[in-house]
Amino acid sequence: EAGVTQFPSHSVIEKGQTVTLRCDPISGHDNLYWYRRVMGKEIKFLLHFVKESKQDESGMPNNRFLAERTGGTYSTLKVQPAELEDSGVYFCASSQGPIQPQHFGDGTRLSIL
């Protein structure tokens, strides 16, 4: 069984540009989560999808972040325009149910210059 896949693994962009991160969850997992770790700090929740619906988006930092999960399969997280403080590692995770263990991808390391 394929694990959670994230693309790209690294992204370096300039402030003001747009970046889109992609996550492919484990097949059959309805629950998909985005998290972010800013250097030296804890991993923080961004949002939670159940199928294509946003169950909880209270962790999204501001309206420069837009997450979608069309068709309830893969998800994208777009940052537009990117700011310096958006740098960090963005993790995606999926699970069968909301209280089941979440399986994480390798993360996308985002650097804003």
Partner 1 sequence: AQKVTQAQTEISVVEKEDVTLDCVYETRDTTYYLFWYKQPPSGELVFLIRRNSFDEQNEISGRYSWNFQKSTSSFNFTITASQVVDSAVYFCALSSEEGSTLGRLYFGRGTQLTVWP
Q: Which residues bind partner 1 (CB under 8 A)?
A: 31, 33, 35, 40-45, 48, 55-56, 58-59, 89, 91, 93, 95, 98-99, 101-107
Q: Which two tokens stand for residue 5?
A: 């896949």
Considering beta carbons, is residue 82 or 105 the nearer one to partner 1? 105
Task: Collect all residues with Cβ–Cβ distance below 8 Å to 42 and sequence separation of at least 6.
Answer: none
Considering beta carbons, is residue 28 or 101 the nearer one to partner 1? 101
Q: Which two tokens stand for residue 44?
A: 């923080």
Cβ distance 113 to 11 under 8 Å? no
Considering beta carbons, is residue 11 or 31 the nearer one to partner 1? 31
Cβ distance 11 to 80 under 8 Å? no
- Shortest Å distance, C-beta 53 to partner 1: 13
- Shortest Å distance, C-beta 42 to partner 1: 5
Pairing verdict, β 10-13 and 108-112: parallel
- Shortest Å distance, C-beta 49 to partner 1: 10
Residues 59 and 54: their CA atoms lie apart, in Å, by 12
Considering beta carbons, is residue 93 or 112 the nearer one to partner 1? 93
